[in-house]
Amino acid sequence: MKLSSSGQGQQAHEGENKCLNSELWHACAGPMVCLPTVGTRVVYFPQGHSEQVAATTNKEVDTHIPNYPDLPPQLICQLQNVTMHADVETDEVYAQMSLQPLTPEEQKDTFLPMELGIPSKQPTNYFYKTLTASDTSTHGGFSVPRRAAEKVFPPLDFSQQPPAQELIARDLHDIEWKFRHIFRGQPKRHLLTTGWSVFVSAKRLVAGDSFVGLLVNFCHRNEKNQLLLGIRRATRPQTVMPSSVLSSDSMLIGLLAAAAHAAATNSCFTVFYNPRASPSDFVIPLSKYVKAVFHTRVSVGMRFRMLFETEESSVRRYYSS
Amino acid sequence: MKLSSSGQGQQAHEGENKCLNSELWHACAGPMVCLPTVGTRVVYFPQGHSEQVAATTNKEVDTHIPNYPDLPPQLICQLQNVTMHADVETDEVYAQMSLQPLTPEEQKDTFLPMELGIPSKQPTNYFYKTLTASDTSTHGGFSVPRRAAEKVFPPLDFSQQPPAQELIARDLHDIEWKFRHIFRGQPKRHLLTTGWSVFVSAKRLVAGDSFVGLLVNFCHRNEKNQLLLGIRRATRPQTVMPSSVLSSDSMLIGLLAAAAHAAATNSCFTVFYNPRASPSDFVIPLSKYVKAVFHTRVSVGMRFRMLFETEESSVRRYYSS
DNA sequence: TTGTCGGCCATCGGCCGACAA
DNA sequence: TTGTCGGCCGATGGCCGACAA
């Protein structure tokens, strides 16, 4: 299982199976994103998955897609594996899940205690700041909010005038970035100067995007606290490009056919979950699903929808039917 | 049909259905790329298509894919539509084709005369040059090969000293680029100076990539000759990234299922053809296929392979079984 | 014929505190 | 507390012919 890792000292490049930091992944994904636990049972909604893929390929789900009579509107699976990833180009975070459909008999098993919902670890010593025009311009550096700097950055030596230090931080791909951190100006403020513009241009940041800083503590192997960084892109007016690899129809068919085939042959299938791409959760813990169904006093089979407000006041949905 | 267009004066942005210049598309695709004609019959090879998609997603075709007993190894279709496209990010050219599987009775029809192969129009007044380290460095401009400049660029006024002019050219997305074209130095040579570095950084060109220049003549609407430009990326050591949208297994299943569904219901399906992505042609004119089969004295159903050497001495393949 | 270089100058990047929101 | 600006200086961009491959 490669859910997370800690103490990953140097750049690891084992094919595409990079072990990226779980806390950093969550810090970039946002506070409302919660991944199911490996080994537990989950409900997979082909409809919600279709909507995410359709949103990504800028395509409406239409009626060209054949029916898959063997594929129920929700599929109870065991979550065999979850790996966290970040897009090499955009740093967009996503998760890859391996789902094992369960037979009707396996579904009847009683709940394991651990299935009652242990949320994945959310980051604690972290901050994010939406970048201003001044932050991203070539004219200057990055103005660090005072509380953020004090909470997350290593303390400065105030006997120096001005107090300054070199910050070393690693991103989702375990690439190292160096910044000059200085406390100066009148009134005094924390700034990142040298190194900042390289970061902005490398990540192609614009005003409205966000910087994420995270302090993690690796207890073992004598390693000290380490600074991690990430970004969150502003939700732009969806300039999704056509895929040029496979037609969106074929993708939607493939999605359904893969799930149906896995269900029929009792084998695993793989899905990608992009928490920031669309507001649809399509893999949710079975325990949460059962609770929701019980709570709303509807029988399984009726259409319902649960709404949650996220931090950005958008909406997350669960699918059922 | 949106195969091509001419006299497209200003930037057109009709959704994603841009009419891009057919000659320019071919100039960027390379001289060996030839698209089948709309309305003719073609042979579609799911196996070759799978290999292209697998190459793009950096995945080997393995045995996880279910069999589609209804899907024959080659499918005779009518080519309903072909549109030429270019990736918004990379300028990579590709074609979208709509294929209509034919019933056994329709397949028995005799050939139409037009099906005997009218190749699509190849560009005439065009050149390409592989960019050198000096071309792509920030230190200077672009050194234009003399014959290329004389053949493709508007003639300079040699009464000026030095002779110079402003070149205006449009790319695959119909975006305008301006360059200062000057004939100077000792010995004299053609150079693109002002404007060149903007182009290099916008297209993210590196030494080894190629610049394509094309002179087209729009006869109607009183338009004069127009200069078009494009690029060809060097074939890099395949840094294909995982898709993060759909698993490669689902994509391969979707590809097969879409074709099988179209064949079963007598409806259209859509494929993308990336001529520079992989050396596999998987949609070829029926006439060419029949000729090849006849020529090599094998019966339909035997495995055969036709080899052609392309300009870059790579290999193009036809698939059959 | 054309790829690379040194020379030269204009422009931009980038660090600073002032000032105000 | 922090976003934007003018001032200032050094780094880089970018145009030129020289020279050689």
Residue A263, in any domain of the structure: yes
For chain A, the average pLDDT equals: 81
Going by pLDDT thresholds of 50, 70 and 90, the confidence category of residue A225 is confident
Q: 10 Å Cβ neighbour count for B154?
A: 15
- Say whether both B170 and B107 belong to one domain: no
Asked if the C-beta of B257 comes within 8 angstroms of chain A's C-beta atoms, the answer is yes
The answer as to whether A180 is a domain residue is: yes
**Looking at the structure, do residues B209 and B301 belong to the same domain, yes or no?**
no
- The confidence score (pLDDT) of residue B31 equals 85
- Residue B65: the pLDDT is 73
Task: Say whether both B77 and B137 belong to one domain.
Answer: no
Q: Is the pLDDT of residue A303 over 70?
A: no
Q: Which of A189, A210, A232 is the last residue of a domain?
A: A232
The 3-state secondary structure of chain B, one letter per residue: CCCCCCCCCCCCCCCCCCCCCHHHHHHHHCCCCCCCCCCCEEEECHHHHHHHHHHHCCCCCCCCCCCCCCCCCCEEEEEEEEEEEECCCCCCEEEEEEEEECCHHHHCCCCCHHHHCCCCCCCCCEEEEECCHHHHCCCCCEEECHHHHHHHCCCCCCCCCCCEEEEEEECCCCCEEEEEEEEECCCCEEEECCCHHHHHHHCCCCECEEEEEEEEECCCCCCCEEEEEEEECCCCCCCCCCCCCCCHHHHHHHHHHHHHHHHHHCCCEEEEECCCCCCEECEEEHHHHHHHHHHCCCCECECCCCEEECCCCCEEEECCC
B211, B244: one domain: no
Q: How far is the CA of A212 from the C1' of C17 (A)?
A: 28
Residue of B nearest to A267 (CA): B64
Q: Are residues B48 and B115 in the same domain?
A: yes
Instruction: Specify if A3 maps to a domain.
Output: no
pLDDT exceeds cutoff 80 at A298: no
pLDDT of amino acid B3:
23
B94 and B148 fall within a common domain: no
Tell me the two tokens of residue B233.
Answer: 């990326």
Whether the predicted pLDDT of A268 surpasses 90: yes
Boundary residue ending a domain (B232, B250, B272): B232
Provide the pLDDT confidence category of residue A58 given band limits of 50, 70 and 90: confident
The last residue of one of the domains, among A187, A213, A232, is A232
Average pLDDT for A274-281: 80
Question: What per-residue confidence (pLDDT) applies to B119?
Answer: 52
Answer yes or no: is A253 within a domain: yes
Listed range (A62-66, A95-99, B41-45, B81-85) with the worst mean pLDDT: A62-66
Do A256 and A285 lie in one domain? The reply is: yes
pLDDT at B32: 84
Q: A121-179 pLDDT, tens per residue? A: 678 899 999 999 999 999 999 999 999 999 999 999 999 889 999 999 999 999 999 99
Amino acid B307: pLDDT: 31
Whole-prediction pTM value?
A: 0.84
Q: What nucleotide is nearest B147 when CA is compared to C1'?
A: C1
Nearest nt by C1' to A188 Cα? D1
For chain B residues 137-196, those near strand D by a CB cutoff of 7 A are: 138-141, 162, 180, 182, 184-187, 191, 193-194, 196
Same domain, B143 and B189: yes
State the total domains in chain B.
2
Q: Are residues A219 and A248 in the same domain?
A: no
A91, two tokens = 């740093």
CA→C1' distance for B201 and C17 (Å): 34
As a whole number, mean pLDDT of residues A226-247 equals: 83
Query: Is A130 among the domain residues?
Result: yes
Give the percent of chain A with pLDDT over 70. Answer: 76
Q: Would you give per-residue pLDDT tens digits along chain B (321 residues)?
A: 222 222 222 233 333 445 789 999 999 999 888 899 998 999 999 999 999 998 888 777 666 677 776 788 889 999 999 999 999 889 999 999 999 999 887 777 665 555 544 456 678 899 999 999 999 999 999 999 999 999 999 999 999 889 999 999 999 999 999 999 999 999 999 999 999 999 999 999 999 999 999 999 876 555 678 999 999 999 876 666 667 889 999 999 999 999 999 999 999 999 999 998 777 789 998 887 777 766 654 444 443 333 333 333 344 455 544
User: What pLDDT score does B11 carry?
Assistant: 33
Report B:50-79 residues touching A (Cβ under 8 A).
53, 56-57, 64, 66
Most confident of A102-106, A257-261, B13-17, B58-62: A257-261
Kindly report which listed range (A73-82, A196-205, A280-289, B204-213) carries the lowest average pLDDT score. Answer: A280-289
pLDDT band at A302 (very low <50, low <70, confident <90, very high): very low
Question: Range of A218's domain?
Answer: 126-232
Helices (H), chain A: 22-29, 46-56, 104-107, 133-136, 146-152, 196-202, 248-265, 286-295
CATH number of the domain encompassing residue A176: 2.40.330.10
